[in-house]
Amino acid sequence: MHDHDHHSELSEMQLRVKALETILTEKGYVDPAALDLIVEHYETKVGPHIGARVVAKAWAEPAFKRALLADASKAIAGLGLDTKVGDHLIAVENTPQLHNIIVCTLCSCYPWDVLGLPPTWYKSAPYRSRTVKDPRGVLADFGVTLPATTQIRVWDSTAETRYLVLPVRPAGTERLSQDELAARVTRDSMVGTGLVAA
Amino acid sequence: MNGLHDMGGMDGFGTVVAPAREPPFHDVWEGRVMAISRALAATGLWNIDQGRYGIERLTPEIYLTSSYHRKWHLRTEALLLEAGLISAAELAAGHAQGPAKPLPRVMLRPDKVPATLVRGTYERPAPAPARFKAGATVRARNIHPASHTRLPRYARGRTGVVDRIYGCHVFPDSYVSGKGDDPQWLYAVRFEACELWGADADPTVTVLIDAFEPYLMSA
């Protein structure tokens, strides 16, 4: 095996992954061209821009918001997005009195179809361990302080449901177009670790 | 299993460090790890819970010191070795040394990639009516399965309220064995923070888990 003392994890992993892909290709278990397409999908097609578009539409169109909160997968399927959104997406609505935050304590479940791949912090031990016990402390790590009276709901994604936070629409945005609204919506606001700035 | 992966409520891991910007993959190998794993899963070699259980079975030392994608890679190697599809000698050599074994389904070709990337449904027809209604008070069972489960330790034995019912879904504790879906009702169950963490907990906080019916009893 490779010498751990003389390689960083990165170079060790480059070698190990290359070796595995070579073996699997030689044996006919994977097609490298298919692997290229999977990587391309996650690097270029999915990301928080999809969720931001959904949030902006929900802010602008009350009927869509109702449909989204009733069945997010179904509501989003009607939007004609370039990529498809799979099943069991649940949208939860933030209000001035109630703040929702999403975590997966057991692994790293995350709504890939609307937010893309999760950031490293979402998959990290600090986030996974603390969010269910000390959500205000975790929010402070993100520079977010909520009023002491705000109710906080932590959703631990322990099944094949996936959660998307519908953040509070900031004041003073009544005249913005949906595209302009979407540009304000951050990834963190859709996980519940951020707020959308006014 | 009561493994390190079940992190909810543990102390001592420090603050959350969140850089402003981060690429989907930090290096080329991370993307290849994910793609290899997705492509192999698409051939039916393992399902989502068998994949998770593969990561849960990494040793605690490896689990805590490996990056997310390194864990995925080590899981993939381990499951392929378990299935006899590759050998340790091949991994050491970096090349195939023997004949291939048949896959459960055909190898993933580029034209099938888009369909593979659409998240499937885990909802199934209900074999029986749901036992609990929204608003019912329930207690999470005090169970400690040696194998894969999706009931986090911090909720076991705790009393909560059924917040909503999600329908009947593939049951991870059975699905991991590869012997079928064993559909069970799935509920969002809401716990007050003081029920989970003691009287000093923040009274404004509630925690919801997705809980399968076998995890729950009337309370």
Q: What contacts B96, CB < 8 A, 6 or more positions away? A: A22, A23, A26, A27, B90
Of the pLDDT bands very low, low, confident and very high (cuts 50, 70, 90), residue A83 is confident
Question: What's the DSSP call for residue A42?
Answer: I
- Edge-to-edge strand list for the sheet holding B137-140: A98-103, A151-156, B205-212, B184-192, B159-169, B137-140, B216-218
User: Two tokens at A39?
Assistant: 């990587």
The pLDDT of residue A73: 94
pLDDT of A4 strictly over 50: no
In Å, how far from its chain's centre is CA A20?
A: 29
> Which of these, B175, B180, B188, lies nearest to B145 by C-alpha position?
B175
Q: Does the distance separating the beta carbons of B6 and A88 come in below 8 Å?
A: no
- Rounded average pLDDT over B109-137: 95
User: What share of chain B in percent tops pLDDT 70?
Assistant: 100
Instruction: Give B204-214 pLDDT, tens digit per residue.
Output: 999 999 999 99
From CA B156, how far away is CA B215, in angstroms rounded? 9
Within 13 Å of residue A156, how many CA atoms lie on the same side as its CB?
31
Q: Name, in order, each residue with C-beta under 8 angstroms of A120's C-beta and a sequence gap of 6 or more.
A: B19, B22, B68
Place A84 in a pLDDT band, splitting at 50, 70 and 90: confident
> Mind telling me how many Å the CA of A59 is from chain B's nearest CA?
24
B window 81-140, beta carbon within 8 A of A: 85-86, 90-96, 100, 103, 107-110, 112-114, 116-123
* Burial class, A98, CB count within 10 angstroms (exposed 0-12 / middle 13-18 / buried 19+): middle
Per-residue pLDDT, B120 = 87
The one-character DSSP state at A95 is B
pLDDT above 50 (res A44): yes
Task: Give domain B28-116's CATH superfamily.
Answer: Nitrile hydratase, beta subunit (1.10.472.20)
Question: CATH code for B137-218?
Answer: 2.30.30.50
Active site residue A177: no
Task: Report, as an integer, the average pLDDT of B178-199.
Answer: 97
| Per-residue pLDDT, A2 | 45
Residue A8 known to be catalytic = no
| Active-site residue (options: A8, A11, A73, A107) | A107
- The answer, yes or no, to whether residue A3 has pLDDT greater than 50, is no
Span B134-138, mean pLDDT?
98
At B203 the pLDDT is: 97
Per residue in B38-94, pLDDT tens?
999 999 999 999 999 999 999 999 999 999 999 999 999 999 999 999 999 999 999
Dump pLDDT digits (tens) for A134-182.
999 999 999 999 999 999 999 999 999 999 999 999 999 999 999 999 9
Res. A75: pLDDT tops 50 = yes
Within chain B, all domains assigned CATH 1.10.472.20 are found at: 28-116
Cα–Cα distance, A124 to B71 (Å, whole number): 12
Q: Cα dist. A116→A85, B100, B167 in Å? A: 11, 34, 26
Burial class (CB in 10 A: 0-12, 13-18, 19+), A179: exposed
Residue of A nearest to B169 (CA): A160
Amino acid symbol at B111: D
Contacts of B174 in chain A (CB under 8 A): none
Q: Give the per-residue pLDDT at A99.
A: 98
* Contact state of B100 with A27 under an 8 Å Cβ cutoff: yes
Domain A49-191 fold is Nitrile Hydratase; Chain A (3.90.330)
Min distance A141 CA to chain B CA atoms (Å): 6
Supply the DSSP symbol for B213. G
Give the model's pLDDT for residue A80: 82
Is the minimum CB–CB distance between A69 and chain B shorter than 8 Å? no
Q: Is B133 exposed, middle or buried (0-12, 13-18, 19+ CB in 10 A)?
A: exposed
Place of tokens 């900031």: A170
Q: What's the rounded mean pLDDT across residues B95-120?
A: 94
Note if A104 is an active site residue. yes
Average pLDDT taken over every residue of chain B = 97
Cross-chain CB nearest to B122 (options A27, A31, A88): A88
> Where do you find CATH 2.30.30.50 in chain B?
137-218
pLDDT at B134: 98
- Is the predicted pLDDT of residue B15 greater than 70, yes or no? yes
Residue in the structure block whose two tokens are 């036992």: B131
